[in-house]
Amino acid sequence: MSAKTKVFHVITKLELGGAQKVTLMTLERLSRDQYQLGLITGPDGLLIEWANRIPFLNRYWNRWLVREVRPVQDALALLSLWQLFRREKPEIVHTHTAKAGILGRWAAKLAGVPLIFHTAHGFGFNDFQRPAIRNFYISMERLTARITTKLFLVSQANADKAERYGLTRRGEWVLSRDSISVEEFLRPGPRRQRLQSWNIPQDKVIVGMVACFKPQKSPEDFVEVAARVVAKTDRAHFIMAGDGERRPSIEERIRSYGIGSHITLLGWVNENEMPEVYRNLDIVVLTSLWEGLPCVFSEAMASELPIVATNVDGAREAIISGENGYLHEPHDVDGMAESVLKLTMNPDVRRSMGERGKSRVMDFDIKTTVEVVDSVYRQYLDGRPQTILATPMNRQGSANTQRKAAE
């Protein structure tokens, strides 16, 4: 590649979420010597400031890109993306998340973009949707997959699902985990320094959930878990870092159980402050109904914290139940409460599980993800794509294994 390759990444909205953070970290780390980078996204979201700080990044705010299905706005978003691609003529368009993934890929195809990549950070369809809606989303993903140069998937579980529903052929995908900057969470720092400002006694075991308050995360289940644990011990205190549409429901459930003194809602937390938040936790809980591979898992692992979570999608690739945490089925609040109670009462188990999680966290480092993305770009730009990159790994395989196989 002699001249810089023009690459546009497209994501629906820069809300606080794993897909958004991974996209921004990738754009921060891709070589400026090799690539001329652009970001297309909606104009709203808590991570807009982060995007504005990234040097040598062309930013395009598309007011028609919204998460909800809105036919008129979606058509205008498609048209505006097509016009932008026709004018700017990027060699690569790389889309993220369901809505931007559909609109962005079709706009790129119609504009004649030669290379179209998509990272599925989970899917827009799930088992909790009405069948008609779910089948519509599956058909749209299946149709759009036909115009996709290569599909990046964040977990083996998502790859299995993609193959099962005809979104990719067996093995013809690339593992590119949703990951974190591990070094930011490994930096030493004092623990439990925020508890006083949060009005939480120092002698409590702190159980935390870091998530947007939206139906996917089922945050009301976290309150249910808290209520069951509090009924059996006063040693635990629960915190929720996040906010969103389900907050009124969460607050109502807290009131109905009368556990307001045992649970603290922190609201949105600045991304730069997240390592400090984890240094104040003893246990991490995530009650999601579906996922890709949430960054919360790797953040907890890097922070040496045990995890109690639902056994959905990529969870099994981060959490080995009984080793660095416990996995339960969605809505199994009784089971999750028992696991939280067990960890609350056993500091040695918390410590050993945290150590085991930390020992394998480098498989979820953003450096590995960026190297994989860059390698695939280069292969296609040089006209020598290697299918070995897309070879599935076993469920406990390392992302580093796949990267090394391509070298």
Angle between helices 18-29 and 366-381 (to 10 degrees): 60
pLDDT digits (tens, 9 = 90+) for 59-79: 999 999 998 888 999 999 999
For residue 317, count other CB atoms closer than 10 A to its CB: 24
Q: What's the predicted TM-score (pTM) here?
A: 0.87
Q: Which residue positions in the chain have pLDDT lower than 50?
A: 1, 388-407
Rg (CA), the chain: 21
Per-residue pLDDT, 293? 86
Domains of the chain (ranges; CATH) run 5-179+365-406 (3.40.50.2000), 182-363 (3.40.50.2000)
d(CA 180, CA 299): 7
